[in-house]
Amino acid sequence: MKEGFIRHIPHNPKLRGMARMLPDVVFSAETGSELKMQILRPWEGEDNPGSCRFPLIVFLQGSGWTKPNLYFEIPQLAEYARKGYVVATITHRSYQEGHPAPAFLQDAKTAVRFLRAHADEYSVDPDRVCFFGTSSGGNTALLMALTGDDPRYRTGEYAGYSDAVQLCVECFGPTDLEAMSRDWDKEKPGFFQFFGGDPRTEKQDLMRAMSPLLVFRQTGKCPPTLIIHGDADPLVPYTQGTGMYQALVEGGVDAEMICVDGAPHEGSFWSARLHEEILDFIGRRL
């Protein structure tokens, strides 16, 4: 019998570089809507919970503040988990189902507090938390960065834990809803009126409160932030990103911006290189 050549590689007793998924973890039920997250975590230390502590990335997919797709970026985010991050993709209540703004922000904050409350179980380092969002999720990411532990947006769940984040990654999100509402009223009449609840009531104060650019102009405080926007975005104008970036830089914030040349909203905006850039920013700042 002809003898072949057998290659040998070492085993991986600590499961380094591997990841696993914890599906459908309920993080909120107090508001009457059961909200779930999908958790991706390094497999390392799985046999000894709490023995390892990994930085946390909370990801929110854009949805126009309706129902985020929890699974949209999981194939890409799995690589973040393999590189040593706990990643939680979250959802929130929808304004279309009778939960107007700021319900989406309250739910995002509840998710962060839940993960801090269960830091031992999921091997989370509660002092290293990044919020990463796209489109309406990008708007939420900036609001999370700007309104840490703001009592106006707290629910009663996990009240003893902070919802502040240490880092923000924001992709093609609305930053000035007052300006956006003027533009969108031509394309989507009444959108922002329903976003804020009863369409018969005045929403200017709510628009300002949910506009990261306007919030920052009032507070002047923000953790390190990466803004990414495509300069061919037909839905959220590129100037929404550049305006926010300029304000952060002028305000002395540790901010960076990436322009994705020719990119639309989602789709070809994404590339392996862009995810490498995001990972590099998170690695340097978190």
The three-point CA angle 264-57-192 to 5° equals 50
Strands across the sheet containing 35-42 = 19-28, 35-42, 86-89, 54-60, 124-134, 167-171, 225-230, 255-260
| pLDDT confidence bin for 50, thresholds 50/70/90 | low
Q: Which whole number is the average pLDDT over 108-137?
A: 97
User: Quick one: what percent of the chain has pLDDT higher than 90?
Assistant: 81
pLDDT of residue 52: 85
Task: For residue 27, give the 3-state DSSP assignment.
Answer: strand
pLDDT over threshold 70, residue 186:
no
Q: What percentage of the chain carries pLDDT values higher than 70?
A: 93
- Residue 230 in contact with residue 265, Cβ under 8 Å? yes
Cα atoms in the Cβ-side hemisphere of radius 13 Å centred on 264: 4
> 167 by DSSP, 3-state: which?
strand
> Looking at residue 259, what DSSP letter applies?
E
Residue 182: band (very low, low, confident or very high) from pLDDT cuts 50, 70, 90: confident
Tens digit of each residue's pLDDT (9 = 90 or more) over 76-115 = 999 999 999 999 999 999 999 989 999 999 999 999 999 9
What average pLDDT does the chain have?
A: 93
For residue 181, the model assigns a pLDDT of 78
Q: What's the pTM value of the predicted model, to 2 decimals?
A: 0.94
Q: For the ranges 132-146, 154-168, 195-209, which has the lowest average pLDDT?
A: 195-209
∠ CA 271-138-76 to the nearest 5 degrees?
35
pLDDT tens per residue, range 188-220: 666 677 778 776 666 788 989 999 999 999 999
89, 73 in Cβ contact below 8 A? Answer: yes
Report which of residues 240 and 204 the model is more confident about. Answer: 240
